[in-house]
Each structure stands twice: as C-alpha cells, then as structure tokens.
Amino acid sequence: MSEHSHPSASSWFPVFLDLEGRRVLVIGGDEVALRKIRRLHSAAAIVDLVAETLHPGIAELHDGERLHWLGASIANDDLGGHALIVIASADAFTRDRIRAWGEKQGVPVNVVDRLAESSAIVPAVVDRSPLIIAIGSGGQAPELARMIRSRIEKLLPPSIGHLASIAGSLAGRIRSRFPELARRRRFLDWVFNGLPADEVAAGREDHSRALITRALEKDDWSGPGHVSLVGAGPGEPELLTLRALSRIQAADVIVHDGLVDARILDYARRDAEFVDVAKRPGENGVGQDGIHGVLLEHARAGARVVRLKGGDPMVFGRGGEELAFLRANSIAYEVVPGVTAASACAAYAGLPLTQRGMAQSVRLVTAHCERSIDRLDWAALAADYQTLAFYMSVGQLAHIEHQLIAHGRSPDTPVALVENGTRPDQRVAVGELRELAALAREHAISSPAMLFVGEVAALARELGWYGDALLKGRERIPQAVAATG
C-alpha cells in the first residue's frame, strides 16, 4: 500500500487468522500494546515485543515463552517468521521501515489508529468463544463499531459460547444423523433455541449435552417442553431484562396477563401462539387451575412456553403456585425475574422507597380483595419510618385510609398514587392519608395503580421527572424537576 493511499471502507476483506502457536511482532511497550498483547494471547499467539520500556502490566506477562522481549530495536533480518505485525507506538522512521518490509514480504501490518499506514485493521470483537463476532467500520467510525459491540454483548448471554462448543463437538454426528439440510437446520434450531439452550443458560451443560446426544440416538427431540415464568416489568418495554426479551423472542406459546403491555407482545415471533389469561372485572377470566392446564397442555406438546406476568412473577404473581404445579407434573421450568411495580413506579414518580430520616424499610403489601386485606397486621403497617407499597389497591383505598389512621398512622402522612406507572399515560397524585379515597375519586384513578404511603411520597412533588404534571387536590400543578446534584 503506498504512503498516500487511503483504502475505502469497502476495500477491507474480513478474515479471521489462526494464530495459535504462531509468532506475532508487537512494537511498543505502552498501555495500547498491553491491550493488543492480551488479545493476541487470547488467540494463543506467541508475542515478540520490541520496546524501550515495559508497561507494568506487560512486565507481569513477560515469561519468555508466550511473550519475548527482544529489546529496544530490531533489525530487518529478525523480522521474518511473523504472521502479523502490530505497531502500537513507534517513531515515523520505525513505522515506515517495518511497513515497507511487511509490504515486500506480504506480512500484514496493523498500525494502531493510523488507517492509511495499515494493511490490516483489528475490529471490535464480541468474544463468546468459540463464537467470535467482529465489527469493523473500515477505520471510518471505530467508536460506532465499539458502541455496536456493546449492544451485541448485552444481547448475547455468556452461555452461548458453551452451547456453541457443545454443538461443535457433536458436529460430525449431527451431520451424519441428519444429512438432509432441512432436517439438520430444524434440529439445530432446537439445539440453539430449545431445551438444550435453556439447560446451558441454567448452568447445566452436562445435561444439555446428554439431551442432544439422546436426541441423536433416538431421533426424538421434540420431547417435553419447557416453561419460563417471565417478569414483563411494569409496562415500559425498555425495562425488560435481556433474558426476558430473549425468552419472549424464542417462545412458541406466550401465556400472558392483562397487565402486560401490548408493545412487549410485539417482540414475539410472528408465528407464536398467544393465550390471554387476564382476569378482568365483569368477565369470566381463566382461573388459576385453568392457567395450570394451559401450561401443562403446551409443555407436554413440546412447546417453549413463556408464562408472561406483569412486574415480577414472584411478587404477588402466584409464581410459586405455578412452579409447584409444574414440578409436580415433571415439567422443566425456570424463572426470569422482572422489575416489580413498587420499585419501577416509585422511580418513575421520583419517589425514593427509602430515605435517611424518612424511611428505613419498605413493605410490599397486596390489597386485592377484602379476604386478603383483612389479614394484614395494621398496627405494624401504621408504624413510622417505613414506606408502604400497596399493590392492586384501587378498590380498597377507603379501607386502607381508615385502618391506618385507626391504628395510629398520622392523617397528615403523605401518600402518592401512581397510575400506569412507567407508561406514556402515567399520572401521579400526591396528597395526605386523610384524603386518600377522595384524591383517587377526584382524579378518577383506576387500575393499574400503585399506592405509596409514607414521608417519601411527598418527594414526588419536587423530584418527579417523568411526564409533565403532578396531580393534587382539585388542581393540576406543573411538575418541578429538582436538581439533585
């Protein structure tokens, strides 16, 4: 490559080099060189290093076997035998001399951060060995390449590399068992998206390998299905965990509650089957036994089932009952936690659940019906210096107001109602305990809504940041955004 040539982004040919046991020359002993040496060592390369001084991290790696320090300079006669040359830092004369030698000998040379002087560039890498993903921009936008790498890293669980290793070790048997491409692809789809993948994600690699091996021997890989109890969070799709998103996208069947935002269901495959088991007022919804039956039917048919619940499935979501049922019927399952409504709605209302001098603890309470609310320890709930977070409480606000005041909680205690928390139509009403029921009637607060009781509820007036208004009394008062430093 001539000194003045500037390759276009499209002229770079992406390729992976096998450097195991091969020598690579690195010029420079600074922190940049340290990063390159670590990458080269991860590829099992042997590094020859030319540098006047060594970064402390490089000095720790110097062992005379995988890393040889050749001194401060190198003669042309000693450049041979290298599969790659990386110039991390060097003066212009040294760069030009080594580049010229590399061009003459056909050895690729990477000059860090000097695209026009390089005949090889090092991409941003997502390492899920043996799965390696390289992202390059032809040197035009390396920061963008690194940003994309970060996004991909979040989407790919670390376990995917272990799954790739298992599949790779069985590649010959899989090809022999399924010589037809179409059947082999269907089998590999089951390996990478079905129960074997779930087992690896749960840390059971040996079980995953056994499943695949048995499937190859018996040609039976539909088998019993798997159920994932997945928390859909409070509503805002971006609050889904990465694992929840992965399970939704891979599901054959999604059994969902009415609190699950429709935007989250849009993440599912187009051919996924949806089962709505919402319990809506005035309707004969599916009871818990019916939900159990749906899960069992689809799991026994070999489906990947996602039981999608608003918030977290293990917080007032009857998740424990469903796990016990699945276990009793020998159905494999996992739990993917979600952001529960108490923390999410409080955060979006600018309301800290704990605060020095105001609240030292938090209680999560369900007020779904009279049968459950009458069992509450109202005396304990009425104690000061704690925050109460009531789920499913809209129909019981008058009862909550009466019981807390009757058991000693001050009528002046701040309260906050957060309706449709985290969603575009979120509303927050702040008042005092003595006016709780009236506050909800005045602003027509409806489910889903969280009730917060405690001194911290008043902070929503000044710390609220989401939305454009705060509801109080008979007015609609513009919401102030506090600078918290």
CATH number at residue 334: 3.40.1010.10
> Is the confidence at residue 485, as pLDDT, over 60?
no
Question: What is the distance, to the nearest Å, from the Cα of residue 436 to the centroid of all Cα atoms in its chain?
Answer: 38
First to last CA, the chain: 53
Cα dihedral 169, 173, 177, 179 sign: positive
Sequence-distant (≥ 6) Cβ neighbours of residue 14 within 8 angstroms? 123, 134, 136
Alpha helices by DSSP H, listed for 179-307, are: 181-193, 195-201, 205-218, 242-250, 262-265, 288-300
Of 56-70, 269-283, 410-424, which gets the smallest average pLDDT?
A: 269-283
Residues 95 and 33 in one domain: yes
Residues 394 and 458 placed together within one structural domain of the fold: yes
Compute the average pLDDT of residues 170-186: 86
Per residue in 217-250, pLDDT (tens digit) is 886 665 567 899 999 999 999 999 989 998 999 8
Nearest to 310 by CA among 284, 344, 348, 268: 344
Cα gap 361→299, rounded to integer Å: 40
Does a structural domain hold residue 270? yes
| CATH at residue 89 | 3.40.50.720
- Average pLDDT of the residues of the chain: 88
Inter-axis angle of helices 205-218 and 159-169, nearest 10: 30
Same domain, 352 and 459: yes
- In this prediction, residue 480 has a pLDDT band, given cuts at 50, 70 and 90, of very low
**Is 268 found in the same domain as 332?**
yes
Q: List the structure tokens of 412.
A: 């002046």
- List b or e across 136-162, with b for residues whose CB sees 16 or more CB atoms inside 10 angstroms: bbbbeebeebeebbeeebeebbebbbb
Does pLDDT of 156 surpass 90?
no
What does the pLDDT read at residue 477? Answer: 40
What is the structure's pLDDT at 178?
87
Residues 350 and 460 in one domain: yes
What backbone torsions phi and psi does residue 365 show, to the nearest 5 degrees? Answer: -130, 140
pLDDT, one tens digit per residue, over 57-78 is: 999 998 888 999 999 998 888 8
| pLDDT exceeds 80 at position 317 | yes
Note whether 325 and 362 are same-domain residues.
Answer: no
In a domain, 184, yes or no: no
Query: From the CB of residue 455, how many other CB atoms can be counted at a distance below 10 Å?
Result: 18
Number of domains in the chain: 3
DSSP letter for 409, please.
Answer: -
Q: Are residues 352 and 466 in the same domain?
A: yes
Residue-range definition of the domain harbouring residue 471: 343-478
Residue 72 covered by a domain: yes
Question: 3-class DSSP state for residue 358?
Answer: coil
d(CA 332, CA 197): 13
What is the rounded radius of gyration, in angstroms, for the C-alpha atoms of the chain? 30
Q: For residues 436 and 449, give the distance between their C-alpha atoms in angstroms, rounded to a whole number.
A: 13
Q: So what's the pLDDT on residue 359?
A: 96
Could you tell me if 306 and 410 lie in one domain? no
Query: Which of 16-55 are b and which e, b meaning 16 or more Cβ less than 10 Å from the residue's Cβ?
Result: eeebeebebbbbbbbebbbebbeebbebebbbbbbbeebb
Residue 127 covered by a domain? no
Distances (CA, A) of 87 to 70, 111, 115, 121: 15, 5, 12, 11
Peptide linkage before 130 cis (omega within 30 of 0): yes
Please determine, for residue 43, whether its predicted confidence score (pLDDT) is greater than 60.
yes
Q: Which of 87, 122, 157 is the last residue of a domain?
A: 122
Asked which of 310, 339, 368 is the last residue of a domain, the reply is 339
Q: Dump pLDDT digits (tens) for 114-141.
A: 888 999 988 888 998 888 999 988 878 8
Residue 455: which CATH number? 3.30.950.10
Q: How confident is the model at residue 479 (pLDDT cuts 50, 70, 90)?
A: very low
Domain assignment present for residue 293? The answer is yes
- Alpha carbon distance 481, 485 (integer Å): 12
Q: Could you tell me if 323 and 361 lie in one domain?
A: no
Predicted confidence (pLDDT) at residue 482 exceeds the cutoff of 60: no
Banded model confidence at residue 2, pLDDT cuts 50, 70, 90: very low
For residue 70, the surrounding DSSP H or E stretch is strand 67-71
257 is catalytic: yes
Catalytic residue among 257, 261, 309, 472: 257
Q: How many CB atoms lie within 10 A of CB 288?
A: 13
Indicate whether 325 and 309 sit together in one domain. yes
- Taking only the tens place, the pLDDT of each residue in 348-362 is 999 999 999 999 999
pTM score > 0.75 for this model?
A: no
CA 165 to the chain's CA centroid: 22
| Of 27-31, 223-227, 479-483, highest mean pLDDT | 27-31
CA distance 271 to 451: 38
Q: Is residue 173 part of a domain?
A: no
pLDDT tens profile 293-315 = 999 999 998 888 999 999 999 99
pLDDT digits (tens, 9 = 90+) for 426-454: 999 999 999 999 999 999 999 999 999 99
Query: Is 287 a domain residue?
Result: yes
Question: Are 352 and 325 within one domain?
Answer: no
**What pLDDT, on a 0 to 100 scale, did the predictor assign at position 18?**
94
Q: Is 412 a catalytic residue?
A: no
Question: Two tokens at 12?
Answer: 């770079």
**439 part of a folded domain:** yes
372 pLDDT band (50/70/90 cuts)? low
**Whether residue 335 sits in one domain with residue 350:** no
Q: Determine which of 104-118, 119-133, 188-202, 260-274 has the lowest per-residue pLDDT on average.
A: 188-202
Domain boundary residue among 122, 157, 179? 122
